[in-house]
Structure 1
């Protein structure tokens, strides 16, 4: 008896010692786990580019192609949270990272079946596995999983763990996290999910290939029913609510097929700007969850692509570039760098190897107007040999098809007809250096040389430069820096970059308005753009340009400045048919992009006067000179003499908006009218 008493006492002592050792070991393990940092992980998020109306242009999922949009737990529908807890881990808020009862049942079943198939993982364990471990079915992995789960429970709150879990789990079809899944399957944010939608989505992570509504709607609905029953069992909802949800019609968004990216040339340009100029690194751009809000208008972009597709033959090598800018703020509204991005990603909008031809002439005439020229300056349109460089050199330009007026013409006709002789006369008289200075002020950065041929656009520029420069003319001489990115936000909504618009008056408004008025003649009868005048339903100004290898149409309305180039990449000559493609692309795009905008007149600055002139004499017109036309002048440069003495009355000029006569004469004129 004594022996058994000593044996029991010894056994109890050993058991007590084991308990103490185990307790110390567990405490030491607790201190160790608490002191250790969790492994560093990188959770990729989908970065997105938006147009000016917050429509998605493109999304980037990183090299692992994980479509993920991280959201806070408070921004997820409570029904989705409850559905997930009910089916995955209803004791989540009670355990310490793993459920001993569940693990015991799993181990017993594994031993009984000699397998490792039973899961019984808590939400914390699932998160630990997804973040730090593989999905191998081994007991070693399960032990590590439990250790990491305990460590996470020590260092994170329950809500933090649940939030990470709901942003991490896989819902199939490259969608990771509930927000990406909700947007993909239902086209709505996870905060707006109904009970029925929540129960459906909560069932997918169990087996995305089996329960995805895209792959098997019956399986998805069966799983939804199980989840609703679990929610009733654990008192999240009533049976009535479950029955109603089960019979609710679900609006599943059709699965999107692989589509070509919208505005791909613009997308690439924005990426280059963000990385090279704004300091956004590649990783953040591709998978950092950043949001880039741009100036592009996808409606205008689609109109541009449609206009180009209608004019260009997809089979030949002829290429195209289009860029449209809002002259009022410099915002890029549309950009097409070629007719097929899939076959060639080179963005011709920025190619500085294109001779602008006659589309360069507005810089010559703007310089002339700013140096005391007016529309009335005349030169004879005839074959002419020009001398320059102190008479050491000669230059003999030709008009298109050797067509000449053979008489004196003024600036309006020279612009409308694109007369080369008049342009060269002008640049020689005003000075090529001044023209270059003006072009540089207007944003032309390409190299220009002070030669007579400069007037005919013989020095290459890019469509990007031309659209921006013509935008200054449209904006009354105010240069608004060309802009593509309005704002960049990180995944938390913090602003990383915000555009600070810069505007500068580089040319006085009266000169740009007078030039605009003259450039409208390009689309009038006899003008080089007249063949597309029937397409244009609003005031528009512009200039065509054609060389042996390039065709241009650059023009503007008060709301849009657009440059269109057509040609070959390798300076191959274009034929007459190919040279006619730029203008209709411009016209169709301009009208389509502005279809919702009422036509608007170009605003007349204060220091501009409009008077009727006699085209023959260049003097003010009155009743004695019936063949008159109205012209705009910078105040003080308008003619003051009349073409002839008026018939039966004092000379009058009813078109003068800023009449220089006295108030008494104005009153008499009004009375006589």
Structure 2
């Protein structure tokens, strides 16, 4: 408990009234005659009584009553008022001890795993430094201009105040300040900027208290880290970086003096806003440093002659990952409180720059290509150009939302098929008909493009348009895509998010579709149904019924295949590759809803992703791209469940590690192999090992089945990668409202999605095998460039069987195909509920062969219903 302040009352000494001192002379009354007629009194023989001597208090009272005592009266009244103020104000004073633990605001910084700055959050840019890290020369520059007697006075410099007062009386101008560095610290941390007598008295009291509580070095450290230098820079270290891109130890005498001159008027004394005034201020401070002996004559002359090189050196964002940056900010606020966002934390994410750039490029390219396939929507806005100057056009363009890769421009003239476009700052270009050739009219609700426009009708004067840079360096007409997209890629070994894009541009919309969106996954959910079947004894050779499903009469649902046809008995492998809806629903009926849901929960899915009913087989639930990636990672790493994460480490402003991720991991060397090194699957022991939730044999079989999707199914566009180690599954929802591709390789589990935020139709031909798969292929092409092909060896417990492709039974015929099955099911290839065909010569075989060679169905058959 702090000691109570001295509350002794202050009052003036008692003063005896002047009326108590009586005269012995007789009083004249009205009855007495005038003095000139009064007889002269006789001399008295009596001696007058002597006057009592005055006491000290008496003399004081007599003095106060005289004219000369007025100043003293005012002084005593001032002391009395001051005493009363102190008595009342002391209990209200803030705790100065809090300055020892003050937390200076500094921006939250978010970095990629390889050190690229993604974003900064916070109004104040600051780099706090200890007093021992600030060179004496820098300190002396500030003392010379702000408080040269700092180490001599006790917080309130009476000499400086007197000098300032005399200067004011002599000139009538406030040319010199009387505020010390301690007073500035007190004002900045505890008081408001209001100019009142009460606040000034509070400032003096607090200043004296601060001087008694803190050392001079502690006060100076607070001051140099707190003061504002303009352009959002706070503190001397941040100012040195901002204006000179230097550390404090690298500053010259001239640069130190320049920085010392800024805080008096940060908005106009800095070398960027007003170079002439800043230089004048710098030279004045150099003169003061010379007078005080901080620098010698030679240093002074050299510094005065030095030109100033101050300019803004802001560290710009080095990686476009706005959605990841906002995720990091939200996590810091959630775990440490909103105040932590301005406490200088550093968040190092798992994002890798080169992969993030590849993901961003793949998504933006896919969305722009979709937009061009569906026609030109017209200008973003129209401006009346009459009478507008270039400066006014510049102001207009400055207010247009910045979208990466899409530069805004104003069409100012159209003549002979050539449009003149103003880009701002006096720059104009010509846009030819060939650079607008893709811009056809939109035709229907699905945004299909119609007839080609005449070049003179594509754009008109006053149109606000977007331009995209072409590979040859030119510009062509473009537009902000209306369709949305998301792409996320995680490491299957531990769940680290290696790239994440939640939309075309974070500047356009803050909604993060990769994490916060919930959409139906369509057929990309089917692999989990098939994995549940394999766990029950079905094999890739088992036959399924691709025919109408017998449903409860209460269900108002009539599921069909995408092509509205039935293929009859079809192998499980082929049913997944061709994304046959009816075959999958029949399989789920055989497995059982409860049993399937219990098994699928192992992948991390909740009830939202698995609605109660057979429609679950077609992906009628709702989940995010990140959640889908979590599920596919189990297949990719051999059966382990890893949890996606994106924050690797969190440090405070002093570099102390507050959090260091240590995720549970899948076995590092027991699944895929590169080169001749064999992988193992048994005897894994590790405290950091994730839980293995499915049999590795099931994971192997599913990888094989998903490869068939690319080799001979709905994902054949992925063959463009020319790699045998990539697998995946397409997904398309009802009326083609969502387009998905979910796939993986040894080092990447990548999910791509495209759709409209308002659930509008994408249009015919934009199924998962085209719209989303194009985005996926572009990203994986960059991610796998120059990477060796991974090989997956069968784990123990699988045996190779030659089967008859039409009947699903073992055969010795040369026409048979090889299939890996679990050894306990070798004699039960058709699964728990066999579907049989009569013989190789029946119509069933002919039907399957016909469906394989001459089927008239579309390539993509993975519609939700």
1:159 aligns with one of 178, 201, 217? 217
CA distance 1:321–1:121, shift in 2 (3 Å): same
> Residue by residue, what CA displacement relative to the aligned partner does 1:362-408 show, whole Å, maximum 9, x if unpaired?
10111122222222122355xx122256x98797643323466x465
**Secondary structure in structure 2 of the residue aligned to 1:512:** helix
Taking the TM superposition and a 5 Å limit, the aligned residue runs for 1:441-590 are 441-447=602-608, 448-493=610-655, 496-502=658-664, 503-524=690-711, 526-535=712-721, 539-547=725-733, 548=735, 549-579=737-767, 580-590=770-780
The answer on 1:284 being equivalent to 2:340 is yes
| CA distance 1:69–1:569, shift in 2 (3 Å) | same
Distance 1:304 1:155 in 2: 55
Deviations 1:498-548 (A, max 9, x none): 545343221122211221122123233x33222243146572221110122
- Tell me the CA shift for residue 91 of structure 1: 3.1
Q: CA separation in 1, counterparts of 2:531 and 2:147?
A: 75
Compared with structure 1, are the counterparts of its residues 604 and 88 closer, same or farther at alpha carbon in structure 2 (3 Å cutoff)?
farther
- Structure 1 CA distance for aligned equivalents of residues 820 and 556 of structure 2: 35
Question: Quick one: which of 97, 104, 110 aligns to 1:49?
Answer: 110
Q: Given that residues 472 and 478 in structure 1 are in contact (C-alpha distance below 8 angstroms), is that contact kept between their aligned partners in structure 2?
A: yes
How much does 1:316 deviate? Answer: 5.6
Indicate the residue corresponding to 1:377 in structure 2. Answer: 542
Change (3 A) 1:528 1:185: farther
How far is 1:554 from its partner? 1.2
Partner of residue 128 from structure 1, selected from 170, 186, 191: 186
Distance in 2 (alpha carbons) for counterparts of 1:126 and 1:380:
84
Q: CA deviation at 1:163?
A: 0.8
**What RMSD over aligned residues (CA atoms) do the two structures have, in Å?**
4.3
**1:88-108 C-alpha deviation (Å, 9 max, x unpaired):** 333322222233332221111
**1:237 CA drift (Å):** 5.1
Q: Which residue matches 2:362?
A: 307
Whether the aligned pair in 1 keeps the contact of 2:245 and 2:313 (CA below 8 Å) is no
The corresponding residue for 1:4 is none
Contact between 1:167 and 1:178, CA under 8 Å: does it hold in 2? yes
Query: TM-score w.r.t. structure 1 length?
Result: 0.78
Alpha carbons 1:77, 1:192 under 8 Å: kept? no
Task: State the Cα deviation string for residues 548-595 of structure 1 (Å, max 9, x = none).
Answer: 221111112222222222222333232124433211122222333555
Alpha-carbon offset, residue 204 of structure 1: 2.2
Q: Which residue of 2 aligns with 1:655?
A: none
Change (3 A) 1:297 1:119: same
Q: Contact conserved, 2:543 with 2:808, CA < 8 A, in 1?
A: no
The answer to whether the aligner puts 1:438 opposite 2:599 as a matched pair is: yes
> Would the alpha carbon gap of residues 136 and 520 (structure 1) be closer, same or farther in structure 2, given more than 3 Å must change?
same
User: Secondary structure at 1:320's aligned position in 2?
Assistant: strand
Contact 1:68–1:180 under 8 Å retained in 2: yes
User: Does the 8 Å CA contact 1:386/1:395 hold for their aligned counterparts?
Assistant: no
Q: Distance in 2 between matches of 1:28 and 1:575?
A: 83
Which of 572, 581, 584 pairs up with 1:411? 572
SS of structure 1 residue aligned to 2:790: coil
Do the aligned residues in 1 keep the contact of 2:321 with 2:501 (CA within 8 Å)? yes
**1:361: how far off?**
0.8
CA distance in 1, matches of 2:648, 2:209: 43
Check conservation: 2:523, 2:731, Cα contact below 8 A: yes
SS in 1 for 2:183: helix
Kindly provide the CA deviation profile for residues 412-465 of structure 1, in whole angstroms up to 9, marking residues without a partner as x: 333322222332232222223222122221111243245333222122333232
Q: Give the 3-state SS of the residue equivalent to 1:586 in structure 2.
A: helix
Residue aligned with 2:641, SS: strand
SS at match of 2:119: strand
**Who is 1:650 aligned against?**
none
Partner residue of 1:95? Answer: 153
What does the per-residue CA deviation read over 1:196-224, in whole Å, with 9 as the maximum and x for residues that have no partner?
65444333223323332322445545554
Deviation track 1:247-286 (CA, whole Å, cap 9, x = no partner) reads 59958445689x899534334434444444x3x222333x
Moved more, 79-88 or 424-433: 79-88
Name stretches of at least 5 consecutive residues in structure 1 with no aligned partner. Answer: 1-6, 642-673
Match of 1:429 among 582, 586, 590: 590
Secondary structure in structure 1 of the residue aligned to 2:730: strand
Distance verdict in 2 for CA 1:215–1:392, change over 3 Å: closer
Structure 1 partner of 2:228 = 170
- Rounded Cα–Cα distance in structure 1 between residues aligned with 2:596 and 2:590: 11
Aligned partner of residue 563 in structure 2, secondary structure: helix
Query: Against the structure 1 CA distance between its residues 593 and 224, is the aligned structure 2 distance closer, same or farther, given a 3 Å change threshold?
Result: farther
Contact 2:744 2:750 in 1 (8 A): yes
8 Å CA contact 1:388, 1:394 repeated in 2: no
Distance 1:446 1:251, change over 3 A: farther
Residue 787 of structure 2 corresponds to residue 598 of structure 1: yes
CA separation in 2, counterparts of 1:620 and 1:247?
90
Contact 2:116 2:319 in 1 (8 A): no
In structure 2, which of residues 499, 503, 509 is the aligned counterpart of residue 338 of structure 1? Answer: 503
User: Structure 1 149/319 Cα, relative in aligned 2: closer, same or farther at 3 Å?
Assistant: same
Could you give the per-residue CA deviations for residues 310-352 of structure 1, whole angstroms, max 9, x where no partner exists? 2224556422233332222222333333334445433333456
The runs of 5 or more residues in structure 2 that have no matched partner are 1-55, 64-71, 372-478, 665-689, 830-865
| Mapped partners of 1:165, 1:330: distance in 2 | 45
Distance 1:242-1:553 versus aligned 2 partners, 3 A rule = farther
Contact in 2 for aligned 1:514/1:634 (Cα 8 Å): no
Structure 1 residues 521 and 197 mapped into 2: Cα distance closer, same or farther (>3 Å)?
farther
State the distance in 2 between where 1:243 and 1:508 align. Answer: 80
Q: In 1, are the aligned partners of 2:726 and 2:744 still within 8 Å (CA)?
A: yes
